[in-house]
């Protein structure tokens, strides 16, 4: 198989979206499959995206007063029995270590599926007085959940994430924290990932096991399905009571703290792929693209082309722009395809004739448009174009999403809506039976409440609607 055909081996995004996704993640070398079912090896190009996500989020966490720490991977199994709803919710996904050092362990150890329990046990040890509050800690780590059906980034047995865990003196403070971090996620998703999101509270059925309330951040993928891109949980005193997280308050009375937790994971890379990608492969927003600009020489051996390309590369690097100069012996056409597939936001093309005219061609990956620009002001042009790409990608995604949000009055309307790849807003009476019926008959789930919206009737039973809910099929 020749190089020219290699980069065309991607399924048609319109005809087979799942296969397109798999082809893209493998052929752009974001990941490869690990030797254990359901695991993935994140390759350097994929990990570079994660590092950029980490850097952007970490700065935001620290700006809101959170500090990083690290907690153990192994958690005593008895911790999971302390919060009944939590253990029931996670029991099917927990991987357990029963043997170590050639011997059976006296007590089995869970490989963390999430860390509320171990944070809780440590907070109970560290917290004495109201002066110790709030405790606001985040950790970057891996977790394991034994998933039956897996797909790279979207759902894997082991994945990378951050999890923030906080403890507060009052319910009001803990609720404020929960909403503040949801807001941090939303701002990050829109201004860094260029993905517009809908945030809101989850139904009781869809909330995190052990939470009083869960708030989700839902992103629309290009096939009209929803991806839960992040969650923030108000845990009330559930874990505080389970793990004895108490403090002596100003009034001299011992009180239970209120806690929260919140997290996003390598799922965000899956979101990037499916929210922006096209028939040619990845389309990456500049703020997280491992390579923001690629320079491709035309007729490299003529007219000082290599020297000019190298000079431009040096100038862009001094401006902290992530740039590659592709001086390999592959043909320009192959390079164009390859870097387009990898989603690089801007491509600069320079040949002898361009140099003679004092020009360079710049190709935008998001719009597939190519224009000629002056060499003398090229670095400034690149900066301006990167900002424009970032802004325009968000706007394009927002227009696309808003055009696929519809209303339904009944069950049939919900079914037709999600079948056509839409988010569907519908009235709901609040009854679990009606929610279950929607899932059973349409394969759609309640994503989040549409805050501030009202409807007269429940789309299922016709009774009085207590809420408007956004329903969608989801990853």
Question: What is the residue-wise DSSP string for 314-365?
Answer: HHHHHTT--EEE--SSS-HHHHHHHHHHTT-SEEEEE-HHHHHHTEEEEEET
Statement: residue 192 has pLDDT above 60: yes
User: What pLDDT was estimated at residue 1?
Assistant: 36
Q: How many CA atoms does the CB half-sphere of 211 hold within 13 Å?
A: 25
Position with higher pLDDT, 4 vs 435: 435
pLDDT bin (cut points 50, 70, 90) of residue 183 is very high
CB-based contact 407:424 (threshold 8 Å): yes
The one-character DSSP state at 464 is B
Statement: residue 114 has pLDDT above 50: yes
398 contact partners, CB below 8 Å, separation of at least 6? 196
Statement: residue 285 has pLDDT above 50: yes
Torsion region of 218: left, alpha or beta (phi above 0 gives left; psi -120 to 50 gives alpha): beta
DSSP annotation string for 199-243: EEEPPTTTS-TT-SEEEEEEEE-TTS-EEEEEEEEEEETHHHHHH
User: What pLDDT was estimated at residue 13?
Assistant: 97
User: What pLDDT was estimated at residue 303?
Assistant: 78
Statement: residue 142 has pLDDT above 90: yes
User: What pLDDT was estimated at residue 261?
Assistant: 98
Grouping H, G, I as helix, E, B as strand and the rest as coil, residue 85 is helix
User: What pLDDT was estimated at residue 6?
Assistant: 46
User: What pLDDT was estimated at residue 92?
Assistant: 84
Q: How many CA atoms does the CB half-sphere of 206 hold within 13 Å?
A: 27
In sequence order, which ranges of 28-65 are alpha helices (DSSP H)?
A: 44-63
Statement: residue 416 has pLDDT above 80: yes
Beta bridge partners of 139: 163
pLDDT bin (cut points 50, 70, 90) of residue 90 is confident
Statement: residue 345 has pLDDT above 80: yes
Statement: residue 118 has pLDDT above 60: yes
Enter the pTM of the model: 0.95
* Helix (H), strand (E) at residue 423: strand 423-428
pLDDT digit string (tens) for 24-77?
999 999 999 999 999 999 999 999 999 999 999 999 999 999 999 999 999 999
Nearest to 235 by CA among 208, 216, 212: 212
Nearest to 73 by CA among 110, 120, 125, 124: 110
In this structure, how many other beta carbons lie within 10 angstroms of the beta carbon of residue 392? Answer: 16
Statement: residue 470 has pLDDT above 80: yes
> What is the Cα 450 distance to its own chain's centre?
21
Rounded Cα distance, 10 and 13, in Å: 8
Statement: residue 4 has pLDDT above 60: no
pLDDT digit string (tens) for 253-273?
999 999 999 999 999 999 999
User: What pLDDT was estimated at residue 323?
Assistant: 98
CB-based contact 277:306 (threshold 8 Å): no
Exposed (0-12), middle (13-18) or buried (19+): which is 370, by Cβ within 10 Å? exposed
Nearest to 219 by CA among 435, 427, 423, 417: 423
Domains of the chain in sequence order? 3-276 (3.30.930.10), 293-387 (3.40.50.800), 405-472 (3.30.110.30)
Grouping H, G, I as helix, E, B as strand and the rest as coil, residue 254 is strand
pLDDT bin (cut points 50, 70, 90) of residue 5 is very low
User: What pLDDT was estimated at residue 8?
Assistant: 60
Is cis: bond before 134, omega within 30 of 0?
Answer: yes
CB-based contact 51:119 (threshold 8 Å): no
pLDDT digit string (tens) for 359-401?
999 999 999 999 999 999 999 999 999 999 999 999 999 999 9
Mean pLDDT of the residues in the chain? 96
């Amino acid at each position: 198989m020749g190089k020219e055909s290699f980069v065309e081996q991607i399924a048609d995004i319109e005809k087979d979206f799942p296969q397109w996704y798999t082809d893209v993640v493998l052929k752009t070398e974001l990941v490869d499959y690990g030797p254990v079912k359901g695991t993935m090896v994140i390759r350097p190009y994929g990990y570079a995206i994660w590092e950029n996500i980490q850097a952007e989020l970490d700065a935001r966490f620290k700006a809101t007063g959170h500090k990083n720490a690290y907690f153990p991977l192994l958690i005593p199994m008895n911790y999971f029995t302390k919060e009944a709803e939590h253990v029931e919710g996670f029991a099917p996904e927990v991987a357990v270590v029963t043997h170590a050092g050639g011997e059976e362990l006296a007590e089995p150890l869970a490989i963390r599926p999430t860390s509320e329990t171990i944070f809780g046990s440590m907070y109970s040890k560290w917290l004495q007085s109201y002066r110790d509050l709030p405790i606001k800690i985040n950790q970057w780590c891996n977790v394991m959940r034994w998933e039956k059906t897996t797909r790279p980034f979207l759902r894997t047995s082991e994945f990378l994430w951050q999890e923030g865990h906080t403890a507060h003196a009052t319910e009001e403070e803990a609720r404020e924290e929960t909403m503040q971090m949801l807001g941090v996620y939303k701002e990050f998703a829109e201004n860094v990932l260029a993905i517009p999101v809908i945030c809101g509270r989850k139904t009781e059925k869809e909330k995190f096991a052990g939470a009083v309330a869960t708030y989700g951040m839902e992103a629309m993928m290009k096939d009209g399905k929803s991806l839960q891109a992040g969650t923030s949980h108000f845990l009330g005193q559930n874990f505080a009571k389970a793990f004895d997280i108490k403090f002596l308050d100003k009034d001299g009375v011992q009180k239970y703290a209120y806690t929260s937790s919140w997290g996003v994971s390598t799922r965000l890379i899956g979101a990037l792929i499916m929210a922006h990608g096209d028939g040619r492969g990845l389309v990456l927003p500049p703020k997280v693209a491992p390579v923001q600009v690629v320079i491709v020489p035309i007729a490299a051996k003529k007219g000082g082309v290599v020297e000019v390309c190298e000079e431009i590369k040096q100038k862009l690097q001094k401006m902290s722009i992530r740039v590659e100069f592709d001086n390999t012996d592959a043909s320009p056409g192959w390079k164009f395809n390859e870097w387009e597939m990898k989603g690089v936001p801007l491509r600069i093309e320079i040949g002898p004739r361009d140099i003679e005219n004092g020009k360079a061609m710049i190709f935008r990956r998001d719009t597939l448009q190519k224009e000629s620009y002056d060499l003398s002001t090229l670095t400034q042009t690149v900066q301006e174009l990167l900002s424009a790409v970032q802004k325009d990608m968000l706007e394009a995604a927002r227009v696309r999403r808003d055009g696929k949000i519809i209303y339904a009055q009944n069950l049939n309307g919900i079914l037709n809506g999600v079948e056509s790849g839409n988010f569907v807003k519908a009235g709901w009476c609040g009854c679990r039976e009606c929610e279950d019926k929607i899932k059973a008959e349409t394969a759609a789930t309640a994503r989040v409440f549409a805050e501030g919206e009202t409807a007269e009737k429940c789309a299922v039973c016709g009774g009085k609607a207590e809420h408007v809910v956004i329903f969608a099929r989801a990853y």
